[in-house]
Structure formats: structure tokens, C-alpha cells
Structure 1
Amino acid sequence: MTTSPASTAASASDITIPRSRVIMASLIGTTIEFYDFYIYATAAVAVFPALFFTGEDDTAKLLASMATFGAAFVARPIGSVIFGHFGDKVGRKATLVGALLTMGIATFLIGLLPTYYHIGLWAPIMLTILRFCQGLGLGGEWSGAALLATEYAEEGKRARAAMWPQLGAPFGFILANGFMLLLTVAMGFTSVATGDGLDHNFLVWGWRVPFIASVIMVAVGLYVRFKLEETPVFKQAVAKDEKVKTPLVEAFKVAWWPMVQGTFIMLATYVLFYLMTAWILSFGIGAAEKGGLGIPYRSFLVIQLITILFFAAMVPVSGWLADKYGRRSSQLVITACIIAFGLCFGLLMNPEVVGTGAEANTSRIVLFMAIGMTLMGLTFGSMSAYLPELFPTNVRYTASGISYNVASILGAALTPYAAVWLNANGGVGAVGLYLAGAGVLTFIFMAITHETRDVDLSTMARTK
């Protein structure tokens, strides 16, 4: 790629819609997608083990539920290929609408599913299928939203523009878990582990409400996205007849190594994120005798909702740092901090130190979560600029989506499951070592990857 930022900036003549609409379209879509995703993550810990799986071993049921959670991450690279094909061939706008619909319909149907006690093994099978469909939709969503933001960005402000879809992650988390918190408070539900039986109204029907209600948000998202136009960069590719017939084949021809680099650049981000959202909830509310902290479900949701604000606050900071100091330089420092954080897990969160149940040191838990969420915002915020900048325009949707979503298998699909097993067998310190190891891999691949701040986004893939 060349280094001519002036040619990549969206000039005033290229843009025929307000930038505020671009921001809203990229932000609202990822907010909805992540809301749908987190609603499932929360239910996978607190609801699905009781309703969709049987047996006396609570850890085994939680692991089975986490396995269905991981099914979406297997689907995400497939979704990135499917939606990436149309995103690079047909356009960003139509593809983003399709991704949103796929995710939204699957989430709505999960809210209507009968449980194991109604239809037996068909219940977890259908749950896994719909979770897979959620993954397909999210696999096409992120890269499209990131491209929408970066390909409309002003000169020198690409990372700051690209941070808007990244804010969808904490915003979606706040909406999803805030909704769950309000429901549990209103319905007086604590958790199955603390004595609430399967006949509790929350487990009978209350948990379904956030899934079904997501259809309203999807309708709003569709309305915003139908008012979009194609990005200036993609319009240039169309005008010059530089689109490729088979983006997937072309991506592997011209960008296979950047796809490998992008995958491992995202690895530590994914591991940290799903430790701080999915696994930490199971650890926090898990029974003390099983290696958890024994904190009531509602109480731990409050902790998560407070500390997720650190995540949201650091996303724009990450974009600013990446524009000022470069993607690679800023991310190397942040990744080193993630490694150090992983090595401190045992010191900060060992149940013998933190305490369990009513004796748990809430301040210490909040501090731990705040550090993790701060690092999460700093590493995640500029990734929507860093990854797309590794690839040429006519394979960018496909290639960046594959990198992002293959990383989701390595760094996210396995993480909640592995962390539950590691904590059960080696304690919370072993979970931290898992994060530190992922951080080392990410650091190595960032170190051998070029700086992308000034690349020309109009560069095309050429194999002839």
C-alpha cells in the first residue's frame, strides 16, 4: 500500500449525506448486534444451564451452556465470508441490512423457544442453531460497520471516526445487562444457586422479554441503514470497475498474511473481553465451594454495569491515541499492560483474598473489573481502524471480517469454556495466565506488523 492519506480522506464532494447519519448508522447497528449477543451471554450463565440442560453437576451444565455460547464464534468467520462477499461485490449498505436482519430474527426466535422440560433434547439443539445464526449476523456486522466509519472518515481522523462502531460494544452491554437487572429486581429473582426454583416467574417467562423486545431495536436500526448511501471509497471502486468477482479467492491471493496478522492482533482483545463479560459473571455468582465468589446475581450485574463505563470512556481515548501516535505504537503499550494484568489475576481475585458471599470485598472486585474494562476500551477502540487498514478496498470487507472473526474462535469461543475449566482445576491465577499467554502472542504479531495510520484506503488488490 502507498502512504498518501490525502487521497483516502472523504472529501466534501464525495459525501452527500450528513456525517452524523454515518455515525448513527455505524453505532446503532453494532449496539443492537452486541445487545443481542450479550443478552445471550448473560442468559447462558444465569438461565440456560437450568432450563436447557439436565444433570446434577452444575459445572457440567454451565460448560454445556458455554459450549452453545461458543457456537456463534464458529459461525462468525462463515458469516464474514458470506457477508464479506456481498459487501465487496454488491456494496456496504445492502450487506449491513442483511447482517442486522439475520442477527435480529435469530435473537427474537430464541425468546420463543420451548425449554428442555417441554421438548427434551430438541431444546438445546434449537438453541444452538439459533445461536449459530446470531454468529452469522455478527460475523458480517462488525467489518461492515467499521468500513462504513473508516471509508467516510476525514483526513487524519480515521481512528477517531472508526471508534463509533466500537462504542456499540459497551452500549449494547449496558442495554442488555441493564434490562436483565431491571427484570430481576422487578421479579425478585436472585439465582438458581441461591434457591430460586424453576417455577420462578423470571425462569418461566421473564428471561424471554429482552430477546423478544430486541425486534423493536432492529426496526430502528433498519430505518437508519436504509437511509445510507455507499461509501465514497466503494463508489470509486465501482466507477473504476475495480470490484473483484470472487472476493474470498482474491483475499487469500493478495492478503493471506495480513489476515493472519490481523487475527492474532485481535486475539488478546477477545480473550480479555470475554473474561471480563461472560466468564467473570459465572465466576462472580458461582458457588464458593465450586471456586466462585458466591455473590448474588443482581449484585454482580450492578458491578458489571458500573465498570463497563470505564470501557465506554476509553474507546474514544483509544481512537485519539491511535491517530496521534499510530495504531501499532499505542497498541503495543496497551497489550503489554494486558499481559501484566493477566499475571496479577491470582493476586487480585483469589477467593481466599477477596472473600466470598457476604464477606466478599466489593471494592476489590470493582477495582479488578475497572482495570480490565479500562484496558478493554483502550485495546478495542482503535481496532476498527487498525484491521481494515491492513487490506485493499476491493477485498477489505471480506479480509477484515475473516481476521476479526477467526480471532473470535481463538480468543472468544474457547475463552469462557477454558476459563471455567482452568478456574475449577487451577484457580483464578490460571485464568490470568491464559490471558497473559494470549497477550504475548498478540504483542509478537503487532511487533512484526507495519504501521497503518497513513495507508491509502483507495488501494486496490491486483493479482494480474
Structure 2
Amino acid sequence: MKKGKVLLASLSGSVIEWYDFYLYGTATALVFSTLFFPSHDPAISILIAFATFGAGYAARPIGSIIFGHIGDRVGRKASLMMTLIGMGGSSFLIGLLPTYAQVGVLAPALLVILRLIQGVSLGGEWGGAVLLATESAGKGLRGLFGSIPQLGVPIGLVLGTFSFTVISAFTTEAQFMAWGWRIPFLFSAVLIVLAIWIRSTIEETPEFQKKKESGDIAKIPVADLFRNNKKDLFRIIGLKLGDGFFNVFLMSFILVYATTYVGYTRDQALLALTLSCATMIITIPIVGYLSDFIGRKNIYIAGLVAMVALAIPYFLMIPVGNGWFLTMQIILLGVIWASIFSTQGTFFSELFPANVRYTGLSLGYQVAAAIVGFGPMLWTTMADHYGAAPYVFGGFMIGGLLLSLCLSIFSPDTRKVTRYEEPVESEETDSLAAPAAPSPEKQLNY
């Protein structure tokens, strides 16, 4: 199976899934709080709107169990085709929804239902996309391959925010609120058809195919996971919480924080977010490749330490001026968090054997995502009471980061000790491979 086609299939679906998911986050701050959750108090409207945003995160663990079961029983490819349909269909329908002014409470109810479908679908997409890449990687390239589907996050968000920026530039405020915001959601249908076509041309991953042929398939993957691998499941949850809270702030709530509580315009906030995500597109594959030389754990620890050190300065510098806002956003999100994120797919997946890998990787990651997804509700309340208080917000972030840092220090170096089988060899990848590490053990022994 051609490695380039596998990576394209992994990336294309990931881009579209995250485009749809973060499209909702951007619209929550700019549109939904007004059109679907009107209130005499803007803070209440924002709080309720972000509750639906958090509901999408809460639904993701459900999706991880459903699609993890399919992925570990039937195959990675079958699961990934289903997640694309669920995500794309719900996003398209959001673009057709009537507003509160047109149908009353039915509008927010339908919006919440479609958001939940988005969350369930994304709960199965991320883990499957990562495994499609890592289980097909050549020797010494698993870190690089595992970083490619991670590019779906910045590319998807850049596409989403860019589409809103362009439409906003060519419409009046009234036109944007009346119909302009719908266009990015409707456009997702075109992207989904393209991604389904790409994914339909690939084969199952070699490692899963070997397990299926040998009959080494878990009957109930989630039960096997809790019976044999629950320690690593909870390890992943803790490892993800710290950077996860900061990430949701940097990629979503920053639009509300910067515009409502600091005083930047919508266009300034969108520009800062777009530029930092564009920087991630460069950072992620570079760091992913480096992780095959120096290890995922070392990069993870370094990134968390840097985020702890810059947490309070980040909030102190945002109000100083637009230049500082752009700079700090690019450094924190585009470079430091991107470095952490580039390793997560490979790092976390290397903790599990193939027969429960989809379920373990997805469930651990998505439970953490469900927790951090309600961060915007907490931050809205914090900002309402304290304003844009740097030490309040910075202290909150540091607390989560320290938890993840402690867990990362005591985690295994999965570049050397992994539950993956021998990597797939091919002439196509051997010429790119990193120098071989000392003979890795097949099983984690800790």
C-alpha cells in the first residue's frame, strides 16, 4: 500500500472533521450566542452557547467507544468512513437550521442534537486517523507518520476561520448574521465527498490485518481495555488534561476573551488565531520527525515546562497591544502546544496492543477532551467575575499543566519501549528512516 496515499487519507478526513468541529467553535463565539440563544444579558448568551460547545466534547467518549469497537473488531477503514458521514452530515444540516427568531426553542434544540452527532463522530475519527498512519509507518518513521493526521487540527481551523474571515469581509454585519455564516457549514458537504472518495481507495492497516487473520481480535474491546490496560487509559487522560485546557482556550475561547473582555475587534482575534494555526502546520511535522530521534517523552516534557513558564506572561501581554497578542498567540499555540500535540497520537498509541489500540487511544484522549470542553463555561464565569485577570486565568492553566507534567515524567519512553509490532518495511520509506534506535522491546515493562 502506497504510504503517500495512506497519509493523504489520514490527513484529508482529519482536516474535514476538525474543520467542521472548530467551525462550530468559531460560530459559537460569533453567531450562535445571538441567533440561537438570545438573552438580555450577553454573558448569559455566551455561557449557554458554550454549554452546547461543551456538549460536543462530552459526546466524544461515546463516539470513541462506538467507533473504537468497530475499529478494533471490523477494521480501521470501516470506522473512519462512518465518522466522516456523521460529521459531514451534521455540519451540513447546521447550515440549514432556522434561528430562534424563526422557530423558537426548536432551533437551539436541533443545534444541540447536531452538535452531539458531531461530537460522537469526532470521538471515533481522531484515533482512527492516527492509527491509519502509525500502523502503516516504515521503520524509524512512526513519529513523523503519527504527526500527519495531527495537521488536521490547524489546517481545519485555518480553513474554518479563514472562511468566516472572507465572508465577513464581503458582507455587512446584517448580511453575515442573516445568511453569510451558513456558507462554511454548507461547504463542508463538498469536502466530505472528496474525503470519502480518497479513503475508499485505501486498504486496511497491515498490523490490524495481521491480527484479524490470526483471529487475535478482542470480542468486546472496551472490556478487554479495562481488564488489561486501564492504567495506561487513565495515564492518557491525565497527560492530556493540562495542554487540553490551554488548547481549548487558545483555539476557541480566545475569540471571546480577546473581543469581549480585552477589547480587540473580531477581525484582529481571527487573524491571531489564523496565524498561530498556520504556524502549527510547519511545527507539527518537523517535531514529529524529531521525535523519532529524541523520543516523544522528552518533547512532551519540554513543551509542558515551556507552557507553565509562559502561562501568566501570555495573559499579561494580550492586553498590551495587537503585536504582542499576535506574538504570544503564535508562540504558545503555533510552536509550543503544536510540539506537544505533534507527539500525542504516536506517544499515546504506543501504550496499547493492536487488539484494543483504537478503543484505548480514542477513549483516553476523548475523556480528557470531554473534561476540557467545558473550560469555556468556567472561563466565562471567571471573566464575568474578575474580568481579563492574568493571574486568575494563568493560575488555572498552570494547575492542569503541572498534573500532566508529573505524569509525563513517570511515563515510559515509548520510542524505545512500545506495544507496536515490527514496523512495516518498504523501499519507499527506508531511505527516509531515522537511524535505528537501540533494539526496542515489544512489550511495555513498567
Give TM-score scaled by structure 2 length. 0.92
Q: What number of residue pairs does the alignment pair up?
A: 420
Q: Is the 8 A contact 1:26 1:146 kept in 2?
A: yes
Matches of 1:391 and 1:416 in 2, distance apart?
32
Q: Which residue of 1 aligns with 2:44?
A: 60
- String of CA shifts for 1:21-73, please: whole Å, max 9, x gaps: 00100100110001001110110001001101122111110011000000111
> What residue in structure 2 maps to residue 448 of structure 1?
410
> What amino acid does structure 2 have at the position aligned with 1:348?
M
1:346 Cα deviation from its structure 2 partner: 4.0
**One-letter amino acid matched to 1:336:** V
Aligned to 1:217: 191
CA deviation map 1:181-214 (0-9, x unaligned): 000000033xxxxxxxxxx111111111110110
Query: Hey, what does 1:301 align to over in structure 2?
Result: 270
> What is the rounded CA distance, in whole Å, between the counterparts of 1:53 and 1:86 in structure 2?
36
Name the counterpart of 1:112.
Answer: 96
1:352-409 CA distance string (max 9 Å, x none): xx2xxxxxx1111111111211112111011110111111100000010001100102
Q: Spell out the pairing of 1:50-449 with structure 2 (5 A cutoff).
A: 50-189=34-173, 200-286=174-260, 292-349=261-318, 351=319, 354=320, 361-373=321-333, 374-411=335-372, 413-426=373-386, 427-449=389-411
Mapped contact 1:244–1:394 kept (Cα < 8 A): yes
Q: What is the CA-CA distance between 1:269 and the residue it aligns to?
A: 2.5
Aligned partner letter, 2:115: R
CA distance in 2, matches of 1:25, 1:267: 28
The separation in 2 between residues aligned to 1:456 and 1:49, in whole angstroms, is 45
Other structure's SS at 2:350 match: helix
Contact 1:150 1:385 in 2 (8 A): yes
Q: Deviation of residue 295 (structure 1)?
A: 1.9
Alpha-carbon distance in 2 for matches of 1:345, 1:420: 18
Contact 1:54 1:61 in 2 (8 A): yes
Residue 306 of structure 1 deviates from its aligned partner by: 1.7
Contact 1:313 1:377 in 2 (8 A): no
Equivalent residue, structure 2, for 1:14: none
CA deviations on 1:200-251 (whole Å, 9 max, x unpaired) are 1111111111101100000000001111100010011012110011111111
Q: Counterpart in 2 of 1:13?
A: none
Q: Which deviates more from structure 2 when the two are superposed, residues 34-43 or residues 418-427?
A: 418-427
Does the 8 A contact of 2:65 with 2:363 survive in 1?
A: yes
2:38 is paired with a residue whose SS is: coil
Partner Cα distance (2:316, 2:25) in 1: 27
Once the 2 structures are TM-superposed, how far is the Cα of residue 431 of structure 1 from its aligned partner?
1.5
**CA shift for structure 1 position 76:** 0.2
Q: Name the SS for the 1:381 alignment partner.
A: helix
Cα distance, 1:164 vs. partner?
0.6
Letter in 1 for 2:181: W
Q: 2 CA distance for matches of 1:408 and 1:323?
A: 26
The Cα RMSD (Å) is 1.4
Cα separation, 2, equivalents of 1:264 and 1:211: 33
Moved more, 155-164 or 445-454: 445-454
- Which range moves more in the overlay, 444-453 or 427-436? 427-436
Any idea what the Cα deviations from partners look like across 1:154-200, whole Å, max 9, x if unmatched?
111101111110001110011101000000000033xxxxxxxxxx1
User: Which structure 1 residue ranges, 5 or more long, are not aligned?
Assistant: 1-16, 190-199, 287-291, 355-360
* Stretches of 4+ aligned residues off by more than 4 angstroms: none
